[in-house]
Chains A and B, each alone.
Chain A
């Protein structure tokens, strides 16, 4: 194939060296790497905040932090993990893999790609600098509900501007993904032949473009309420604080799927490879993803059943939310059937994908319980909700990202990594993540509200268990860094197909390992 001698063609677009290679990067792999490294840094920063939270909650009574600082930790932990860790990690995977999976040389809009990445460090510097201002960091929760969020001090404009920047970055990333997929597919790669990771990212990118401006509108209205005398959300001036929640969750619910759909894509790549069998029900998987994306726009108010909606509204949002279980179930059943009568081996990416399969499904079950409005009145704003969304986001989204990294890392670096160490990372993570989050279901059901720095003594035992799990999970992630660093530095040479007799499908495996700087200079033919 034409790409085999692509190294020889590098001379006409030489790799810039030194810091310039990164500052002025336009190459999809370099930008992808920066996204992934940034996401990893933010994962540890957000993780540090989580450990401080678990430290304070280890036993009742306030031992370490003022309640307002605790609230700031809770707020920024969420913003850092959502906008700094999970989303950039998926954009990093998209940057690396989409051109390689569709047979393109690079992303369609390389300079915008650079811009959308380099906005992020500034956005997070703004957000985190608020901790150094009078009044401390933002403490109103990542959901920024007014009137509470309007009470913040200097952190308020910093947070709003940071969110604006993160949104702009996401929108540009999404535009790039759509333009690339729509225009740069290799001949013969029709839409219904695209790898599932490409499909899920295409749908995710449309979701991003649809809802990020909505968030921008919501936070801009907060800003003018705070500084310019408008009263969009202030009842005393004829405004409506509940309207903010409607607007926020119209963004917020699709956002949840923005965080999970690319994870579905990664898992849909990995399971067929290590089951040595094509993905079962490819078309159904695509339609299920699209259905989930559609439903995500009509379920938002299930986040706010307790605000006092009319009965008809509660009924509608309860029923539409329950419907999501159907396409999600289809996906789980298809993954399971992909393994059925396969030939399974358990390399680290497969282990993480299987862990995803089980634990994401548990998060799905608690999600179904939360959809039942009368029961939701008991679950809402308790640790049951915290347990639910951490199950879908940590062993869900984060495990899928780790699975993806372990799957493609040899293709990126040209080296195999330390499998034994990666398996240690897997087992420690899978066990500790359950010790961390499973007891939080019990805490919520027994009556512990979320976002409190201190609790009554009957909640002590499960909080201790959860904190122990939290520290075990946090420190286990150092192994992940170790495996990656070791692999980047060297290791056994990876073959082009990397996974031996598992024979992964997809154009990325037709490239040499490590993949050449410009992925496909001549478009491959897809038959």
Chain B
């Protein structure tokens, strides 16, 4: 179809200059996962389709406003009142354009929903107002809250210049740590109200709902630190429960995980009988 060819050509053109959009203060990030790149491509595709339509429609409007001014002596053509032909044309053409956009969108959607063959599963629980990450079957779980520096600076009239605070509102005490090039599956739920876990660079946004377990996945291709925020209004401190994901090499992740497991065991030993968040609780989940 001509439409989809033109559209994908436009999309390709934009994809060819990712530097233009990356780390932008006015556009969606390209991100660091295969899915996020596809989503960015879709976003740019539909954006340029809209721009193309806008050029045509707005040109017609501006031309009419300019050309058919009464002050220029324009005489109205009272016979131009309807035409079934043009109504059909401007119904059918948009339908074709929509179909050409729906096809790639549907393909991406199918991929996003395919959570099979994940290599690591993390349970994510939203709380008012922090996140909990539980590495299922690994015996590691911890809370992730806004960093002390940000928390101090964000108080009403704190007197702190927030521009001097490192990663203001996008920094936490314990980030989620995951390995690179690994399909990580998230199981999301909420403890009190609905939250939403969003990291723009992964193109993952999924609600964490009490009583529900939602699934999402990502496979990060670039080592680094990625940030996001809770995206569903969850009460007073909704704006202050950021998400930070630290992506390590597979080796570094293995080391980090071993150290965490070590620490968890040490902490659990004296209180093993009363603590629920240690290895025994994780055993059934290992079957997942």
Contact = CB atoms under 8 A, between A and B. Distances in A.
Nearest to A377: B205
B162 interface: yes
A461 B198 CA distance: 23
Contacts, number: 287
B109 A277 contact: no
A148 B43 contact: no
A477 B232 CA distance: 32
B286 interface: no
B87 to A, nearest CB: 5
Contacts of B210: 147, 235-236, 241
A372 interface: yes
Contact of A378 (B86, B94, B200, B232): B200
Interface in B84-115: 86-87, 90-91, 94-95, 98, 101-102, 105-106, 108-110, 112-113
Contact of A308 (B43, B87, B209): B209
A454 interface: yes
Interface in B61-88: 61, 64-65, 68-71, 74-78, 80-83, 86-87
Contact of A61 (B90, B109, B153): B153
Contacts of B94: 325-326, 329
A168 interface: no
Contact of B193 (A71, A148, A242, A358): A148
B230 A449 contact: yes
B105 A374 contact: yes
Nearest to B78: A277
Given A323-B98, A377-B39, A449 B91 contact: no
Interface string A133-152: 00000011100010110010
A314 B236 contact: no
A330 interface: yes
Nearest to B170: A456
B76 A342 contact: yes
Interface stretch (A13-21, A98-106, A398-406, A439-447): A439-447
Contact of B112 (A67, A339, A374): A374
Nearest to B51: A365
Interface in A370-402: 372-375, 377-378, 380-382
A315 interface: yes
A278 B78 CA distance: 7
Interface in A281-332: 281-284, 306-308, 311, 314-315, 318-319, 322-323, 325-326, 329-330, 332
A225 to B, nearest CB: 13
A129 interface: no
Contacts of B54: 361-362, 365
B169 A446 contact: no
A220 B237 CA distance: 27
Contacts of B235: 68, 71, 139-140, 148, 151
B90 A329 contact: yes
Main secondary structure of the interface of A (DSSP, over half): helix
A24 interface: no
A378 B43 contact: yes
A350 to B, nearest CB: 10
A522 interface: no
B215 interface: yes
A234 B101 CA distance: 38
Contacts of B178: none
A231 B68 CA distance: 62
A451 interface: yes
Given A340-B60, A382-B231, A453-B239, A369 B170 contact: no
A239 to B, nearest CB: 8
Residue of B83, B163, B211 contacting most chain A CB atoms (<10 Å): B211
A224 interface: no
Contacts of A479: none
B87 A462 contact: no
A283 B87 CA distance: 10
Nearest to A66: B156
A486 to B, nearest CB: 26
Interface residues on B, range: 35 or more
B134 interface: no
A488 interface: no
Residue of B39, B54, B90, B95 contacting most chain A CB atoms (<10 Å): B90
B117 interface: no
B274 interface: no
A325 B206 CA distance: 26
Contacts of B26: 441-442, 445-446, 462
B157 A62 contact: yes
B105 A446 contact: no
B234 interface: yes
Given A67-B239, A315-B109, A381-B196, A343 B75 contact: yes
Contact of A322 (B101, B108, B231): B101
Nearest to B214: A308
Given A147-B194, A278-B78, A342-B68, A67 B236 contact: yes
Residue of A307, A354, A378 contacting most chain B CB atoms (<10 Å): A378
A462 B24 CA distance: 12
Contact of B77 (A65, A341, A344): A341
A318 B231 contact: no
Interface string B183-200: 000000000111010101
A457 interface: yes
Contacts of A64: 156
A240 interface: yes
Interface in A2-59: none
Contacts of B196: 306, 380-381
Interface string B17-47: 0000000111111000000001100110011
A276 interface: yes
A249 to B, nearest CB: 14
Closest 10 CB pairs of A and B: A235-B211, A452-B239, A442-B26, A308-B214, A341-B77, A339-B64, A365-B50, A381-B231, A61-B162, A148-B193
11 contacts: A147-B194, A241-B212, A276-B70, A281-B83, A340-B80, A341-B74, A377-B205, A378-B28, A441-B26, A446-B25, A446-B28
Interface of B: 24-29, 38-39, 42-43, 46-47, 50, 53-54, 57-58, 60-61, 64-65, 68-71, 74-78, 80-83, 86-87, 90-91, 94-95, 98, 101-102, 105-106, 108-110, 112-113, 153-158, 160-163, 167-170, 192-194, 196, 198, 200, 203-207, 209-212, 214-215, 228-240
